[in-house]
Amino acid sequence: MITLKNLYKTYGIDGIRIHALNGVDLKIKKGEFVSIMGPSGSGKSTLLHIIGVLDRQTKGTALINGTDVAKLSDEERTSFRLQNIGFVFQFYSLLPELNAIENTMIPGMLGNDKDARNTAKEVLEKLGIGGRLNNYPHQLSGGEQQRVGIARALVNNPDLLLADEPTASLDSKTALNVINIFRRLNEESRQTVVLITHEQELGKMADRGIFLKDGVIEKEKDF
Ligand SMILES: Nc1ncnc2c1ncn2[C@@H]1O[C@H](COP(=O)(O)OP(=O)(O)OP(=O)(O)O)[C@@H](O)[C@H]1O
Ligand SMILES: [Mg+2]
All structural domains of the chain with their residue ranges: 32-39+73-222
Q: How far is the CA of 91 from the centre of ligand 1 (A)?
A: 16
The ligand that comes nearest to the alpha carbon of residue 198 is 1
Per-residue pLDDT reduced to its tens digit, 16-29: 999 999 999 999 99
Q: How far is the CA of 164 from the centre of ligand 2 (A)?
A: 7
Cβ of 45 closer than 6 Å to ligand 1, yes or no, is yes
Residue nearest to ligand 1 atom 18, measured at CA: 43
Can you give the pLDDT at residue 170? 86
Q: Which of 131, 155, 161 is nearest to 2 (CA)?
A: 161
Q: Cα Rg for the chain, rounded, in angstroms?
A: 17
Residue at 220: amino acid letter: E
- In the chain (223 residues long), the average pLDDT of successive 10-residue segments reads 97 91 97 97 97 96 96 95 93 94 94 89 92 97 94 93 92 90 92 95 96 98 95
- What value does the mean pLDDT of the chain take? 94
Quote the DSSP letter at residue 72: S
Quote the DSSP letter at residue 93: -
Cβ of 152 closer than 6 Å to ligand 1, yes or no, is no
What CATH number labels 32-39+73-222? Answer: 3.40.50.300
pTM value > 0.85: yes
Cβ of 20 closer than 6 Å to ligand 1, yes or no, is yes
